[in-house]
Amino acid sequence: MATKLPPCFTSLLHHTTYPSISPLRPAISASGKTIIISGGGTGIGPSIATSFARASASAIGIFGRSEPSLIASAAAIRLAAPPDTIVAYAVADQVDAGATNAAFETLARELGRVDVFVANAAYLPTPAPAATRDPGQ
């Protein structure tokens, strides 16, 4: 049985970067910036992080639930990054607000001022609009 694709809101789908959104473009460069990404060990998180690495971010921090995934992701980021890029990770489960805050604070302390935070991990036990959702859930 064929897989049905969701509706497309653009006339063209891209599966890789293209010149106008290339992380190497100076106008959108992350050069000298410190980046922290939640969910950096799995899914699209490692690709987000390696794109920032190729864009010359000076420091990249990732956090997520699985330390083995974070270790592998950090290694891939280091391969894509300039040699002086600082790469760090912290283990935290997004459903534990205390652990998530501690991971962010640990990475921020280790890496310095955070310029960009990518909220790539989330947990919603029941579907609801984010704008009206209780942040304590």
The pTM of the full predicted model, rounded to 2 decimals, is 0.76
User: For domain 29-122, is the CATH number 1.10.10.200?
Assistant: no
Other CB atoms closer than 10 Å to residue 111's CB: what's the count?
Answer: 20
The tokens for 77 are 């980021």
DSSP label at residue 28: G
Beta strands of 14-125 (E only): which ranges? Answer: 34-38, 59-64, 86-91, 116-118
Per-residue pLDDT of the chain (137 residues; tens, 9 = 90+): 566 767 777 888 777 778 887 767 777 778 899 999 999 999 899 999 999 998 889 999 999 999 999 999 999 999 999 999 999 999 999 888 899 999 999 999 999 999 999 999 876 677 777 677 776 66
The beta strands (E) that lie in 4-113 are given as 34-38, 59-64, 86-91
